[in-house]
Every structure is written in structure tokens, then in C-alpha cells.
Structure 1
């Protein structure tokens, strides 16, 4: 493991004063764009448009083309600090072949889909891992997965989760998530924060619904997600805008922290409200995002 990713794994964040992952910043910006690994002509453009690209060997690739996708992955030449490779699940027939191809590349960030146990991560010690909790077993195992040394972040997935339950839809007719999906999202976020790592919010499948994406990304920021994954370049700027604090918000955070420095330790009154540790942590989170 090299570079920023190695530093990230070396010292786990301390939950508390500054939030999850405070001791090791998230390696990428907020918009993580999936790209089918069997479409190498799209690799560079996807990376140019997003903060990091997720080269997908799993769901985005027809099983009969996965060997071609692995060849394209090995032949690629992208900035390894901004590439994540989604391999196939540890239980699949493709997993070992994916890891063999991955070892022949400079890429050292991996997304493991359908992660359900520490044993699923056994072959990934050399990598920085985003463990994707997208089955009932995976969501329940999120606290265990989050504490594995190679795991730098957890992500959740709605559609595979509902499929694992025998259901048919993660959303109501108005586009809002059903309760079980909301519960899974919160559970994964809490497990990541408790372990001092980061959480990544799932994709918004309705590409044309930028208003819905904006609302979900704004909520992700508000509750502490580090990034949001997406499936189309047209979604990137909506995600970035949601995670980017506006200038007034940044100035207010700076003023509040300056007032805290002047007030010294303990609770104090500022601009008509009581300010304590959690309020200051919120302000520091705004400055980190800026």
C-alpha cells in the first residue's frame, strides 16, 4: 500500500470531537463515478469528469465479457490515486480472476460488493477497501466489516438489499426510500462512524431526476457521509454542489470557531445561542468540506 491510502489505513480515525475519520482524510472528493470496466474508451473521460472513477468488473459488465473487462483493466493507464476497482463478490467464481488482474495494475483501492463477513476480506489485505453492504447479512455485519484493518469506508446499496430480502422495490411511488432501505443506510453510516472510518452513500438510479439526487446528496452531507456514488457524468456536479459549503456557511463556521478560541474552554453564548462541543464539531466539518 502506498501514498495517501497507506496513511489512511495506518492510523484509524478517532470518533468524537472531529467526527469519523478525523485522523485520516477521505482520499477522494465527493463524487465517485461508476464506469463499466469493459468500456475502456470511457475510462479517461469518466475520470476527467469525477473526483474518482470506480472501474466496475461486477454488475456493469455482462458475465460473458468479464474476461475482456479484466484485460482492459490491466491495459489501462490512469492516475492510481483516483481509481477504485469494484471486483466481484468473494463468493463468486470471478473473484480470484479479478484479484489476479488487479495485482497486475497499480490500482490499490477496491470496492468489495456483497461483503458479509471478515472472511470475505481475507484476500484484500494489500488494498484499501470500500466494503459494500448491500444484503441483509452485509448490513447486519457492518460493524464487524468497519473494524477490519483494510477497510477505509463502508457503502450501502438499496437494490441488492431489497433483492436479498425477496422484495421488489426499494422506493415508494413518490421516489422516497422505503423504511428498510432508510434503516440500512443509517445502520451502515453508524457502523462506519463508530469504527472511525467513512461512509459512502449509494447511487441515485433515476439519471434525469437531478432534484431528487440533490435532495439525497444534501441529506448525505448533513448526516456525515463522505461521498456519494453515481452512475452518470451528468450527476457529478449535482453531488459536488451538495457537498460544497457556500461562502456564507464557511465564513459563519470560521467566525464561530474564532469566537470559541476567544471564549476559551467550555460552553459559551454566541449570536444568541448556546455553543458546545458538538456545535463546534459541525463548524469544523464545514471547513473540512470547503
Structure 2
């Protein structure tokens, strides 16, 4: 999967193909995007309107809800394999209930964030995502962001905690959605920060956001050229520490360069 994951309400099958054409992967949402009275129709649409399983994720309702069992039954009638678990909180429950599925665990409650490291260790969890608004709601708060649009301290801590848990156990880390759709500059800046911090991808809620996420995750040509030159110099130097263009270079800096080339598809 690429860096831009687009949510699509599962009860809107007319949007499935368009979403798949625009994004690197589609998250067909059976949870928050679907009203309770439309969930049965959403599950039927999921079955009757197949997309490429390699580029599709299905977000199911929380494991402790009656809707989850119905979601799982519908899922078994499809070719989809990757599941996103909403409001993930229990690593053992994830490992047992979805033992045969690769899982993206969505840590979006206080308990889920606190347990992120435990969840990351579940055998079938392949990645972690965090969610800001549900997290703040679980705390009794009213907004994850300040008036200037930046995250409040508690949201930043949760973002970092989930990223660290994913990294500690070599799992993918997915950044939260940016809800202010017209603010493409804010989206781009936040995605740039996600890249620099180590996130693998960012989820989004509108097709217009995809191009800005891809632009943020694609390293500039100058950065790619610098990384290639740096790694070539390292191979020639054959030393643990050396100087390159006036800068001291050691192992972590070389890993940064390697990450840049991976994002550019040149590693």
C-alpha cells in the first residue's frame, strides 16, 4: 500500500470504485461512517461490490459490540483480508477474534492508547493507527485541536505513543485523518511532519486530500540526490563516522538517507 489511505462509507457502493481509483488503498468503513439503521445494507454492499483485496481494508465495529459478529460474517463472504479494528483496546481479543486476518488496530480511546504497546505485540496486528477525536471524546473533552489548528498536548502524546509502540515492534504506523478538508496547506504540513517522524501512511476522508498526502510522502529530488551521494560516500569511506559536505555522518544519519530512498522507491 502507498501513503494515502482513503476512508469510504461502506453503505455508499457507488463511491467504491472512485475511491479505489484515487487512493493508494481504500478503507471501507462499517463503523462511524454508517448510521445504525444502514449497517445491514452496508454489509450487503460490501459483499456485492468487490474491490482489489490487496488495496482494500475493511473497518469493522468494536469487538465488544453486537455489530462486530455481523461484520465478521459479512467479511467471510468477501475476498478481503486486512481488517481495521475500531476502538482497539484488547490485544488478546484481537488475536482470538481475528486470528486469520492481518489487523490494523485503531487506538482511539484512552485505554487503547495506553495499551498500544500490548496491542502491537498481537501476532496478527500488522499496524497501528490512532484517532484524535474519539480519543478526546473518551476523556470527556470537546476538541483535539487548539484554535490555531494544532493538536492539543494530550493528542500529541497519544500520536507519539502509538507511533513509538508501532516502531518498537516493527509494525506500520498510520497517522490520523485531517478533518479540515479545505485546509490543504495544513494537511500538507501535518503529513510532512508524519513523514519526518516515521509514520508509514496517513488516512484521509476526502479524495481531494490524496494528492497532498502523496506529495508530502514523496521526497524532493534534492533530498533523493543528497541521500544517494551520502550513501555512496559512506560505501567509499568504510568508516563508522566520517565527514560529508561539512557534516559529521554516523549510523543514524545513514538510516535517514536509506529511508528517503525507500520512500522514493529507489532502495
TM-score, normalized by the shorter chain, greater than 0.5 = yes
Q: CA deviation at 1:281?
A: 0.3
CA RMSD of aligned residues (A): 0.6
Alignment match of 1:107 (pick from 69, 80, 94): 80
Distance 2:179 2:135 in 1: 15
Higher RCO (CA < 8 A, seq sep 6+): 1
2:8 matched to which residue of 1? 35
Partner of 2:31 in structure 1? 58
SS, match of residue 18 in structure 2 = helix
Q: 2 CA distance for matches of 1:45 and 1:31?
A: 14
Matches of 2:159 and 2:174 in 1, distance apart? 10
User: Aligned equivalents of 2:88 and 2:37: distance in 1?
Assistant: 23
2:120 aligned residue (146, 151, 168): 146
Aligned match for 2:172, one of 174, 183, 198: 198
Matched, 1:237 2:234: no
Secondary structure in structure 1 of the residue aligned to 2:147: coil
Give me the whole-angstrom Cα distance separating, in 2, the residues matched to 1:215 and 1:207: 14
1:119 offset after TM fit, Å?
2.8
**Other structure's SS at 1:176 match:** coil
Q: List alignment gaps of at least 5 residues for structure 2.
A: none
| SS in structure 2 at match of 1:225 | coil
Q: Which runs of 5+ in 1 are unaligned?
A: 1-27
Distance 2:98 2:234 in 1: 43
The equivalent of 1:219 in structure 2 is: 193
Question: Aligned partners of 1:230 and 1:77: how far apart in 2?
Answer: 21
The normalised TM-score by structure 1 is 0.90
Match of 1:285 among 241, 259, 263: 259
Runs of 4+ in structure 1 off by over 3 angstroms are none
The residue that corresponds to 1:95 in the other structure is: 68
Indicate conservation of the 8 Å contact 2:92/2:122, yes or no: no
1:67 to 40, 49, 54: 40
1:49 to 19, 22, 42: 22
Distance 1:131 1:144 in 2: 11
Number of equivalenced pairs: 263
| Alignment deviations for residues 114-155 of structure 1 (CA, whole Å, 9 cap, x no partner) | 000113302111111110000000000000000111111100
Partner of 2:89: 116
- Structure 2 match to 1:129: 103
Aligned residue for 2:154? 180
Give the aligned partner of residue 158 of structure 1: 132
For normalisation by structure 2, the TM-score amounts to 0.97
CA deviation after TM superposition for structure 1 residue 198, in Å:
1.3
Looking at structure 2, the residues matched to 78 and 228 of structure 1 have their Cα atoms a distance apart, in angstroms, of 20
Deviation at 1:56, TM superposition (A): 0.1
